Amino acid sequence: MPDQPNIIYILSDEHCGFAMSHMGDANVRTPHMDQLATEGISFRTAYANCPVCTPSRGTIFSGRHAHAGPVQGFFDVYKATAPSSATILRSTGYHTAYFGKWHCGVVHDQISPEVRQNPDAYPEVGYFRRTPEYHRGGFQDWYGFEVNNAHFHFSYYHEKETSPRKLEGYQTDVLTDLTIQYMEGYESDEPLFLVLSVEPPHFPLEAPEAFKRFDPATLSTRKNFFDSSGMLENRPHVEDSPWMRERLAIYYAMIENLDWNIGRLLETLARLPHFADNTLIVYISDHGDFMGSHGLFERKEHPQEESVRIPAIFNWPGRIPAQGLQEGLFSLVDLLPTTLGLTGVPIPAHLQGADFSPACRDEPFQAPEFVFLEMHNTPRWGLDFQDWRGLVSESWKYAFYETGHEILFDLKNDPYELNNLAAVETGMRDRLREQLLYELDNTSDPYFQVLIEHGTTPDGPVLNLSKRWRQGISPAWKDQIKNIEE
């Protein structure tokens, strides 16, 4: 195809879409994200359809919802024959490369002999599993890993090597170094589709000292930022604590470091002739993080805004007009069809998202009225981790949990989602429940239809034996979960 652009996805992990200066966050400075947005387009209301790492990444690269896609849950893998953004673009002449976190190919026994024989050198052995080639989503050049969750001492697998390579330094810095080196040495005439995927600002909350500029005591916080003990039934919310603010300060430092590295990448693109004039850049995250909102830290998995809102920035000089912040309900299932639409690649019929390329080009476009949200095959770390299905419009959010509980939030009048109106606004609840049933049918999700229409009342209460997960924000805590005291 003529005039095919290079495509670069910058993918972070757990970056809540509110936490950028052009989104109005008073704490953080993100000049390079802001530049990409100002000179391109940033969707104000962008959502992760399934807010947990693995299935969300499956949606990013497949253009299908988690329940109907190649990665159906936290412990699943990208299926060997599943089409992906990489395989579709390769079929039209692209070369593909992946750098960083993948988390769509964990096969539990795929641990390198080097790691097994030197456990002291790899203290978190479980994280150093090698991604089998056919679970790499069709990417050709591979500089990836599944999960490290260690930002200053991490490893990756280089191409087809069977032992991991250790890297020193802060992960976002080092992965950006590797990406720049690769781009500087790229000599093929083929257009390049490259993904730079970094774990920060995902926990553990660690940042280089140079970026720790924040005074925790002076941070502005959201109106739903409170101590977790406030989640207990019939207990008032408690003031936030210094510990909470310290963690939030590091989170912001990690985001500013990421922004600085995006700036380094932009400088590299500008000086390399192969990339300077014809590169589509997309910045996204796989989901958000509560970061103290609703009393939760290092958590997502629920339908609340802090969990599901993400950055979604598209920039292509000369092709995407400067529009800055724009309205329209965008979600990750739309990423692949939008990428293909922008680059002129035919969009396969099996993709489930909408093509937002007309909106990116500032052409007439009707955005979806609803975004489908879900948690599918949640990691069952505790009783607060449950499957649910939901949808969000510009004004309302509704979700139905596997326990039969429902939540309904009026986003215009209650943007911090402090008042569940499911038992009050019954007319709106019923209308959105019917709309959800339609979306379930439209996206090939028959079983939640059974739960909604024919579900029984669970026996209870459930006796919770966990020492760690003693509370949460699932509505089931109200009447179905009872903590056992030792």
Span 106-156, pLDDT tens digits = 888 888 888 888 888 876 655 678 999 999 999 999 999 999 998 998 899
- CA–CA gap between residue 443 and residue 431 (Å, rounded): 18
Q: Indicate whether 465 pLDDT > 90.
A: no
For residues 409-415, give the mean pLDDT.
98
Cis peptide before 461 (omega within 30 of 0): yes
pTM above 0.85, yes or no: yes
Q: Indicate whether 235 pLDDT > 50.
A: no
Q: What is the pLDDT of residue 126?
A: 55
Residues listed for the chain: 486
> Considering the chain, what percentage of its residues have pLDDT values greater than 70?
95
- CA–CA gap between residue 236 and residue 304 (Å, rounded): 20
CATH of 6-363, one of 3.40.50.2300, 3.40.366.10, 3.40.720.10, 3.40.50.970: 3.40.720.10
Class of domain 373-483: alpha beta
Q: What is the pLDDT of residue 61?
A: 97
What digits encode the pLDDT tens for the residues 77-114? Answer: 999 999 999 999 999 999 999 999 999 998 888 888 88
* Amino acid, res. 32: H
Spell out the domain ranges in the chain: 6-363, 373-483
For residues 166-171, give the mean pLDDT.
94
For residues 304-331, give the mean pLDDT.
97
Rounded to 5°, angle at Cα 408 from 405 and 410? 170
Asked whether 320 and 41 are in contact (CB, 8 A), the reply is yes
Q: What is the pLDDT of residue 391?
A: 98
Q: What is the pLDDT of residue 238?
A: 63
- CA–CA gap between residue 417 and residue 397 (Å, rounded): 9
Pick the range with the lowest mean pLDDT from 26-40, 115-129, 135-149, 394-408. Answer: 115-129
Q: What is the pLDDT of residue 157?
A: 94
Mean residue pLDDT across the chain:
92
Of the pLDDT bands very low, low, confident and very high (cuts 50, 70, 90), residue 348 is: very high
Of the pLDDT bands very low, low, confident and very high (cuts 50, 70, 90), residue 227 is: confident
